[in-house]
Amino acid sequence: MGFSREDRAQAARQSWVVRLFYDREGNLHGGRALAVVALLAIAVVLGTVMVSFAGAAFGPETLATGALVVFLAIKIPLLLFVFWVLMRQGGGYTQSDLTTNERSRVLESLVQQAREARGKPDEAERLRWAAREAWRIADEAPDDERQQAIAVAVEISGMRPTPQDRTAA
């Protein structure tokens, strides 16, 4: 089970490690996380190469010891870091996790997509999808925001596909 955006935002104000990888709103700095993973991957490759050379020069015991050190000192922290980021991000979000601003932007986007579907060959499917998403948002919205979401869902549901001109070919 993932943490909510508010949980991540609160943790970002408490830990320097979390502040390094998350902004104040709890959003992941993907570039920073990717850079750390890339640096650790480079360290794994370089460590493995160095251990291979040392093993060739000094024997199999050195190779085994070096491989163990690379595994414990680099690979395990890399896996733990990736696991930590994934667990903080959670498995997704529900509409109830959205802020008012985010929910409004999603609803506006759905209306825009429904309008842009006009005249497209798959217009009916697009309108059904947009209406279904708008109703899902309305179902999961907090009470004080539900009326706006219902209004958008009704607006999209009321859009009918334009009749296709079957004689033009």
Residue 116 CA: distances (Å) to CA of 108, 110, 123, 126, 156: 12, 10, 9, 9, 12
The per-residue pLDDT for range 1-13, each reduced to its tens digit, is 456 676 666 655 5
Q: Please list the helix, strand and coil fractions of the chain in percent, rounded to the nearest 5, in that order.
A: 75, 0, 25
The DSSP code for 166 is: S
pTM, to two decimals:
0.43
pLDDT tens profile 113-168:
989 888 888 888 888 888 898 898 888 888 888 898 899 889 988 888 877 654 44
The rounded distance, in Å, linking the Cα atoms of 39 and 33 is: 10
Task: For the chain, give the mean pLDDT.
Answer: 80
